[in-house]
Structure 1
Amino acid sequence: MFKNLMARFGKGAAKVDLVLDKNQFQLGETVAGRLMIQGGEVEQEINKIDILLMVAIRHDDTEHLHTVATIPTYESFTIHPGERKEFPFQYLLPYDLLISGNHVTYFFSTNLDIAGGVDQKDRDYIEILCPNPLQQVLDALSRLGFREKHDSRKFNGRVQEFELFPTDFLQGRAEELEFIAAVQPDGVRLLLELDLYSFGHEKELKREVFISQQVLESEDELVSELKRILEEMAEYGVTGYYRDAHGHSYHHGHSSSGLSGAVGGFAAGVIGAMVVDEVVDELFEDDDEDELEDFFEDD
C-alpha cells in the first residue's frame, strides 16, 4: 500500500523514454526509434502516451513554444512491476519547417499519462539540417570567405533569414550578406541583400537570383556564379550600373517582375512556410507582419 501511495506521487512509478536512432535529420526524412516503457514498483494503468514535436523560437529575447505536430500513439494498457514494453516510433518530418539554429530548436515531448498518478515526461532534442541545395549554397559562400553570424537563421515573423559576414571576398567593401531561400525541384531561389559601406553609411542592395540544379551540382561553378553575382551587386552599389559578360555597362532598373513583385512567386518552397502559416499570428505582433514586404521594397 505504501508503494502504491508513493507511485501516485511519482516515486517508483513507470518511466518513459523515447530512444531515437539519430538526432540530425533532413526535411522530409523519417524520424525513427523506439518508445520504451519501464514498469515501476507497482502495477499501473497507462491512460495514453502523448508525443509532440515542439519548436522553440526565440524572438526579441523571448522564447515561444509551439506544437508542430501531435503523433498518434497507443491505446491504454497495464504495466506490471518491473515489466518493460517497447513500441516502434516513426514520424515523417514536413518539408516546410524552419532550419535549426541559435534561434530555432526542436524537440519531441513525450508524456506518459498514468491513471491516478503523476505523469512521467521525456524530452529529446533533434536538429533539422539545411536541405542539400541550400547547404551547397552555404558551403560555396564559405569558400568565398563568408561566415554565418550568431543571429543567422532567426525567424523574423514571416521568413527565416540567413546572415553572413565577409572575411575574404568583399571584406572592407561589404558589411553583411543576408538572404532568404526557397528550395524548388529544379534549383534554389535566393533573395539577396548586400549591405555595402558607402561614404560612412550603409547602403543596401537587393536582388533575386535563381541557382539551377545544374550549377548546384558543380561546386566550382557555384562558387564562381555566386562570386559573379555579388561582385555585380557591389559594383552596382558604387556605379549604379552592371557589366555584362563582355564588359559593357548597363543600368539595372527595378520593375514589377523584380524584387518588389517576387513575394508571391517565392511562397512555394520557402523555408519555414509551415511555421509561418501556423504560428505567426500567435507569436508576433502586428507591426512585424509587413517585414517580408519591407525586405522587397525598392531602394
Structure 2
Amino acid sequence: MLKKFLAGLGIDGAKVNFVIDNEVVELGGVVSGNVYVSGGGVDQVIEEITIALEVSSRYKAGDHIRHVNQEIASGVIAKQLAVKANSPEFKIPIRFELPYNIPISTNNTKYQFRTNLDIPNAVDAKDIDTITIKPNQLVQCLLDAIGILGFRSKADSGSFNGKFQQFEFVPTRFLKGKLDELEVYFEAHEDRINVMLQIDKKVRGLFASAMDDLDLDERHVNFSLLKNQLVSREQTSEILASIIQQEYDKIPC
C-alpha cells in the first residue's frame, strides 16, 4: 500500500529518459534518439507517452521585458503501456524532423524537449532535455552576408516574441553614420528565405524627433532570396547592399 501511495506521488514510480543522439541540429534537420522507460516499485499503466519541443525567449516590448514560452510541436509516441514493478528498461526509438520556419537558438531564445509519462491517478513522470537549433546553410549564408557588410549584432538580437524572431544590427562600415540600425526578420524554407528589413535612418536636425515619432525615418522592404542567391556570402552581401541602399535612398532627408 505504501509503495502505491509513493508511486502516486511520483516517488519510486515509472521513470522516463530521452537520450538525444544529436543535441545540436540545424533548421530542417533530424533529431534522433531513444526514449527509455523503466518500471518503479509497483505495477503501473502508462496512458500515453508524449514529447513536445518547446521554445522560450524574452523580448522587449516598450519599456518592459516580456517572456514567451511556446510549444513548437508535440506528438504521442506510445499508448496504453503496462509497466510491471521493477521491470527492465525498454526503449522507444525517436526520429523527429525539425521545421525550417522556426527561430534559431540565441542568447535569448532557448529550446527544450519535454518528455512526459501520463499515468492515471499519479504524478506524471517528466524528462527535460535541452537542444540547440542552429542556422542551416541558407540562413547562415544570410547572416554571414550581413556580417560582411560590417553590421554588428546588438546584445538582445535574436529575441522571439511568439510570432517572429527579431535580429538587430548596428552599422560599423556600410552606411555607418547614416543608419541608426538594421532590423532583420526572416522565414526560412527548404529552397528560399523570405526576408523583411526595417531600415532606420539616422536623422539629425530640428525635425528629427518628429520624424522618429511618425516613423518617417524608417523603411520596410520584403523580398525573397532563392537558394541560388544563397550560395556565396559575398554574392549575398552584394544583393543585400543593393537593396538596403535603394531603400535608404527613399527615406526622406
Which TM-score applies when normalising by structure 1?
A: 0.68
Whole-angstrom distance in 2 between the partners of 1:25 and 1:199? 45
* 2:58–2:67 Cα contact (<8 Å) kept: yes
Residue deviations 1:3-26 (CA, integer Å, cap 9, x gap): 443333233222211111122223
Partner of 2:196: 191
1:234, distance to aligned residue in structure 2 (A): 4.1
1:156, distance to aligned residue in structure 2 (A): 5.0
Partner of 1:226: 240
1:101 equivalent in alignment to 2:101: no
Q: In the superposition, relative to structure 1, how do residues 72 and 215 fare at CA in structure 2: closer, same or farther (>3 Å)? A: same
The 5 A counterparts of 1:1-299 are 1-58=1-58, 60=61, 61-75=65-79, 76-81=81-86, 83-155=88-160, 158-183=163-188, 187-200=192-205, 201=208, 203-237=217-251
For the residue of structure 2 that corresponds to 1:74, the secondary structure is: strand
Whole-angstrom distance in 1 between the partners of 2:220 and 2:74? 39
Q: In the superposition, relative to structure 1, how do residues 158 and 54 fare at CA in structure 2: closer, same or farther (>3 Å)? A: closer
Residue deviations 1:250-299 (CA, integer Å, cap 9, x gap): xxxxxxxxxxxxxxxxxxxxxxxxxxxxxxxxxxxxxxxxxxxxxxxxxx
Query: Which blocks of at least 5 consecutive residues in structure 1 are unaligned?
Result: 240-299
Whole-angstrom distance in 2 between the partners of 1:47 and 1:211? 46
* AA of the residue aligned to 1:222: T
Query: How many residues were matched structurally?
Result: 239
Q: In the superposition, relative to structure 1, how do residues 226 and 65 fare at CA in structure 2: closer, same or farther (>3 Å)? A: closer
1:179, distance to aligned residue in structure 2 (A): 2.3
Q: In the superposition, relative to structure 1, how do residues 230 and 103 fare at CA in structure 2: closer, same or farther (>3 Å)? A: same
1:225, distance to aligned residue in structure 2 (A): 2.9
For the residue of structure 2 that corresponds to 1:22, the secondary structure is: coil
Q: In the superposition, relative to structure 1, how do residues 46 and 213 fare at CA in structure 2: closer, same or farther (>3 Å)? A: closer
Whole-angstrom distance in 2 between the partners of 1:12 and 1:80? 10
Q: In the superposition, relative to structure 1, how do residues 119 and 174 fare at CA in structure 2: closer, same or farther (>3 Å)? A: same
Whole-angstrom distance in 2 between the partners of 1:189 and 1:10? 47
Q: In the superposition, relative to structure 1, how do residues 91 and 118 fare at CA in structure 2: closer, same or farther (>3 Å)? A: same
For the residue of structure 2 that corresponds to 1:134, the secondary structure is: helix
* 2:53–2:114 Cα contact (<8 Å) kept: yes
* AA of the residue aligned to 1:27: L
1:40, distance to aligned residue in structure 2 (A): 2.8
* AA of the residue aligned to 2:238: S
1:130, distance to aligned residue in structure 2 (A): 2.8
Residue deviations 1:36-67 (CA, integer Å, cap 9, x gap): 11333444333322222223354543333333
* 1:46–1:79 Cα contact (<8 Å) kept: no
For the residue of structure 1 that corresponds to 2:241, the secondary structure is: helix
Q: In the superposition, relative to structure 1, how do residues 169 and 42 fare at CA in structure 2: closer, same or farther (>3 Å)? A: same
Query: Which blocks of at least 5 consecutive residues in structure 2 are unaligned?
Result: none
Whole-angstrom distance in 1 between the partners of 2:38 and 2:169? 47
Percent identity between the two aligned chains = 33
Q: In the superposition, relative to structure 1, how do residues 180 and 81 fare at CA in structure 2: closer, same or farther (>3 Å)? A: same
* 1:41–1:82 Cα contact (<8 Å) kept: no
Which TM-score applies when normalising by structure 2?
A: 0.78
* 2:21–2:32 Cα contact (<8 Å) kept: yes
Q: CA RMSD in A?
A: 2.9
Q: In the superposition, relative to structure 1, how do residues 79 and 65 fare at CA in structure 2: closer, same or farther (>3 Å)? A: farther
* 1:34–1:89 Cα contact (<8 Å) kept: yes
1:235, distance to aligned residue in structure 2 (A): 4.6
* 1:71–1:91 Cα contact (<8 Å) kept: no
* 2:57–2:69 Cα contact (<8 Å) kept: yes
Whole-angstrom distance in 2 between the partners of 1:116 and 1:210? 52
Whole-angstrom distance in 2 between the partners of 1:53 and 1:86? 19
